[in-house]
Amino acid sequence: MACCHALALFFFQDDATAVAPATTGGSALLEMVHNSGPVAFAVLITLLLASVFSWTIMLSKWSSFRRAQAQSTRFIRAFRKSGRLSEIAALSDQFKPSPLVPVFMEINDEYQRQTGGRGMPRNPVALERAAQIASSEALTNMEQRMTWLATIAAVAPFIGLLGTVMGIIDAFHGLGTAGAATLRAVAPGISEALITTAAGLVVAIPAVVGYNQLTARLREFGARMDDFGREFLNLIENAAMASAPPPVEEETYRRSR
C-alpha cells in the first residue's frame, strides 16, 4: 500500500507543482488571461472592445427609446386635447424626441399646401403617402447602429471559437513537445481555449437579448406611428366634413319650407 502511494506521488509530481501556484496565487481567471498567448490575448481584446461597443449601443438605445415613449405619450395627450392644428404645430417643438412629431408635421405641411388649413383635402392619397414617408424616415433614424449590434451578436461566438481552436492547437503542440501526457504540457492551451470560448458567449448573449428587445420596441414605435397617422387623417376628414357647406339640394329644400 505504501509502495502504491509513493508511486502515485511520483507520477503526479509534475501535475501537482503545476496546479499549486494557480490555487495559491490569487484569481485563477486573471492568471489564465495573463498567461495567454498572443492569439488568445488578441481574441480577448477584440471581444472586450465588441462588448463595450454593444453595451454602449444598447444603453443609448434604451435611453432614447424611453425618452421617445414618454414624449409620445405627452404629445398624444396634447394632440387630443387641442382643437386647432396651429396650436399643435406650435407645441410640437416641445415633443421633439417623439417619432410622432415628424409624422404630424409632414401630414400638416401637406394639408396646408393643399387647402391652406381649411376644407377637405384635394388629394387624400398624398396625405397618406406623406404619413408613410414620415413614419419610414423616423423609424430609419431610430434603427441606426442596430446592424452593429446584430453583427456583434452573430460574430462574437465565432471569434471565441477562433481562440478555442488556437488553444487546442497549442495544447497538442505542447503535448508533442513534452513527449508525455502531463497536465503541465496541455494546461496552457486548454485554459486559452476555455477562456476564449467563455468570453465569446459573454459578449454574444447580452447582444442577442438586447437586439431582440430593441427590435420589438422598434416594431411598437412603427405600429404607433401608423396608428397616429390614420388618426390624424381621420381627424382632418371629419373636421373638413363638419365645416363644409350643406349640399345644394338640402339648402334649396330648407328655403322652400
Per-residue pLDDT tens digits for 158-180: 999 888 887 777 766 666 565 55
Instruction: Determine the pLDDT at residue 103.
Output: 93
The reply to whether 49 falls in a domain is yes
pTM of the predicted protein model: 0.74
Instruction: Determine the pLDDT at residue 181.
Output: 55
Instruction: Determine the pLDDT at residue 250.
Output: 44
Q: For the chain, what is the domain count? A: 1
Angstrom distance (rounded) from CA 123 to CA 62 = 39
The reply to whether 255 falls in a domain is no
The reply to whether 21 falls in a domain is no
The reply to whether 24 falls in a domain is no
The reply to whether 68 falls in a domain is yes
Instruction: Determine the pLDDT at residue 74.
Output: 93
Burial 107-134 (b: 16+ CB within 10 A, else e): bbebbeebeeeebebeeeeebeebbeeb
Q: Which residue segment(s) compose the domain that 211 sits in?
A: 33-243
The reply to whether 120 falls in a domain is yes
Ranges of the chain with pLDDT below 50: 1-26, 248-254, 256-257
Instruction: Determine the pLDDT at residue 195.
Output: 84
* Helix%, strand%, coil% for the chain, nearest 5: 85, 0, 15
The reply to whether 187 falls in a domain is yes
The reply to whether 249 falls in a domain is no
